[in-house]
Amino acid sequence: MPKRNNEHISISDALKEFVETHKLEKGLNKVNVADAWAKLMGNGVNNYTTSVNLERDTLYIQLSSSVLREELSYGKQKIITMLNEELGKEIVKKLILR
């Protein structure tokens, strides 16, 4: 079988193309953001996190502790920066703690 060099494509490129073609990126971002939140915040915060929801570029975090909510609200911008760094792209622009 002849080799068709012009059709060599890396798996990551193929996946990226597939994701973009099928508009899965939004769904993947939601999963990735939830994972990033869990990873960056650690168990202390995760134990009080009841839901993580990304809508467009706003991340809604539901917390069961008002004390923790208050505490985290002071570092919102830092949390947004950390999440976006973890994700490797700017997905989160706004953080709403509820």
**Each residue's pLDDT tens digit, 10-57:** 888 887 777 676 666 777 888 899 999 999 999 999 999 999 999 999
Two tokens at 11? 């798996």
**Each residue's pLDDT tens digit, 63-88:** 999 999 999 999 999 999 999 999 99
Question: CB of 30 within 8 A of CB of 58?
Answer: no
H or E stretch at 94:
strand 94-97
H or E stretch at 58:
strand 58-63
